[in-house]
Every structure is written in structure tokens, then in C-alpha cells.
Structure 1
């Protein structure tokens, strides 16, 4: 099987804890600075759990981006409630497994499950849990497979939900993270949903690319993830767009926000504009520390503190590994 799956008796059919969980609401939630896959995978998994008789709440932890707002409107789905503290809560995590990307209070929460498609992070649990990670392009792909494994028929609404997560996280299969598993799953969901994937992808990416009402801070901080390696803390933020030139026009403001972030967070700051359709990125180089790491990672000379990276569109699979390798060797 192409995934890591660890299960324990608490999820057994006759488990006493399983009965208790039918009475105690669980929170299913994705990572900080939620993207579409993080939100819809939580919603879809909550839908599955409810159909299996459990009381669950799908939540979010942060402001929604424009693409996700469009998706929820398209799905006629209310915005999930904002969860700002998980202390004392029973939770299921989707689309992340790293403590720095989790909701505050996760250290004092009872983690029951993790469903993810990223590398292992730094979360620890006191008890064994159900953990499933697969090297696919979207957590929504894994959730769709779980529906099938549980012999629960995916509804039209659930199919649309899962399809948006796959389209978003794989950049409509243009990302190197996209796999045949994602494509196969999306084709099945498309038949159930009865929609045109290309049309849906265009509308989603148009919404994602809109700068209307966005400040430079929104652009830089809207999709940021923090990392720590060898005691070096660094943030890698991305803004995916079909119109990179419009974003680059705000470069002076973008560098100002990055500088403010570095002063406040005391860590290395990287920011990329990802060109969805041309499959390339523009990496913004804030200072000499970032410049040295970026040049060693990508072997490209920046121009005016911006490094053009053809073929680089995935933070998870391309950018984080390259930068992490350099930091490990510092």
C-alpha cells in the first residue's frame, strides 16, 4: 500500500471509546492559514464521520483566501467556524502534522487521527493514534479513498467538495505533487459531481488570482508556513496566481512586509509568486542570509532581489526540500 496507516483498538467496532465518541463532538480541522484543500478535506471528512454516526465539527484556523471563499459559495457551504484554541478538545487533524502549523493549544488537545499528505512534522501524542499519510497531491484524494474503503457512497455535494480540494492543491494537475492517484480519483468524482473540471479550475484560479481588496500583507502572509531545522527558523510563503505581473507590480510593498515579518519573527523569510499556468515561480530574496541559502538551493542568480525559478511550483515537494538541504549543511 502506498501509504502509512497506523490504527488502534479505540476505533474498533465494539470499542467502548468508539461509543463515547458518538456522544462527544470531535473537531476536524486543517492547518493555519487554511487553503482550499485544508478546508474542504475537513468538511468532507466531517460529512463522512456524521454519516457513520459520530458527532463532529469541521473548523478552520484563520482567514479564508479568495479561492476558498469562492469554493464555499460554489458549494453552497457555510464558512466553517473559526477555532482559535484546541486546549482540552478531542481533534482530528487533516492536511498537516506539524506543531508549528497546528491550531494553538494542540499540545493540550487529544489528537485522535491525522490524515495528511506531507512529510512527518513534530507532533507527538501520549497514546497511539490512527495516522494515515500518502504521497499524493491532495488530502482530499485520501478522504475520497476512505469513503470507498468504508463502503460509503460519495454524494454529489461531497464529490464537488473533494474535487475542489484536488484541483486546488495539484494546480489542476500541473504541480509535480500531482499523481496518477489524484487524476484517477478526480475522474471518478467528476462523474458523480457532473461538472466540467476545466471550467471549475478556471473559476477557482481566477478567484485565487484576484488582488481586489488585498493588501501587500494579505499577499505575503495569506499562505505562509513556518519551519524549524537545526535550530534555524524560517518561513516560506506563497501566492499562487494566473497573473504574476500584477503581483510583481507590488514588489516594493511586498519587500516591506517581508522586512517587517523578519523583524517581528526573528527568522528567515522567503516568499514566492507561483505562476500557475506557466509552471514557474519568482522567489523574493530579502537579505544576504536568504540570498546565500537560495543561491545554494537553486543555483540561480537573482535579479533585483528576485530569483526566477522555471519549473518550480510546489513549496512542499520542491522549495522546502531544496532550502532544507542547505540549512542542514550550515
Structure 2
């Protein structure tokens, strides 16, 4: 529950989730914040994973009309770690698009504590889609900063 709701911060989180999560944490005698930190650190510990493994750790493929695209996501509590991941993944987005035939590939680098996402994108129209959808610019590093965006399901 803590993972799915990003420690009760995701827009997918319901009041019922919060009540149940707090009740379960009392039964388990666990501090939800401390537990979340340990869990998210373990989940973002990439160790010896290849860029392809990182991309596919949490990746979904979508079809919208004639357009097929994919969106991956990783969550961390450390912005520096997210930028390190971005450096590893940049070439992998292009490889994934070519290999799978997707016209666009996106990857969300989500900071759970700051409740924001750095969005990487690859594909012919991908930067324009992001700029128009979020009224934002793509930085020189090819990443768009999306404040208050943490959920692929509801916000991307």
C-alpha cells in the first residue's frame, strides 16, 4: 500500500487507503515514513542492472489511435540518483523505440519526497507532446521538469 500510494502522496491514494495504511502500520508496529524510506531505497537500488533492466523495471506500453508509446518509471528520494539514472537511460530510450516499433518512449524519474518528476522523452513528436501537455520546456539535458506529477496512471 505504501508503494502503490507513494506513502499516501499519489493522486491514486484514497482516504480509505490512508486509514487502512495507518491502521496496518500500528498493527505491524512500523513507522510508515521510515518503512517507506527503506522500501524506496531498496527499490531504487540499481546495483548492476543494465539500462534495459532499469527501463523495464516498471514499464507499460500504450496504444492511442495510431500511436504506440511506452512509459517507464522509477521512484527515488534522491534527485542526484535520478540524474545518474537519466544519464544511463538516455540511449536506451532510442534503442527501445527502434526495437519495439514504438513511436515515442517516455521515462518518469519521480522524486517521492519532493513530489515531482523529471520526464525523459524520445521520439519524433515526443518533446512537443510534453511541452504542449504540461506547458513546460524541455531542458538542455532533454528532460522536462513536472512539479506535482507522480502518477503515470492519473497524471501522465
Number of matched pairs: 154
- Over aligned residues, Cα RMSD in angstroms? 1.5
Match of 2:148 among 306, 311, 321: 311
**Does residue 1:277 correspond to 2:113, yes or no?**
yes
Higher strand share: 2
Quote the offset at 1:250 in angstroms. 4.2
**Higher RCO (C-alpha 8 Å, min separation 6):** 2
Map residues 102-121 of structure 1 onto 2, 5 A cutoff: none
Q: Which residue of 2 aligns with 1:253?
A: 88
Asked if the contact 2:118–2:146 (Cα under 8 Å) also holds between the matched residues in 1, the reply is yes
Q: Would you say 1:221 and 2:56 are equivalent positions?
A: yes
Note the C-alpha offset of 1:316: 0.7
Unaligned runs of 5+ in 2: none
Q: Which moved more, 1:241-250 or 1:257-266?
A: 241-250
- The answer as to whether partners of 1:209 and 1:243 remain within 8 angstroms in 2 is no
Structure 1 spans left out of the alignment, 5+ residues: 1-165, 320-330
Q: In 2 relative to 1, CA 222–186 (structure 1 residues): closer, same or farther, beyond 3 Å?
A: same
Q: 1:297 aligns with which of 133, 138, 149?
A: 133
Q: Distance in 2 between matches of 1:250 and 1:191?
A: 35
Counterpart selection for 1:242 from 71, 77, 81: 77
Alignment match, 1:127: none
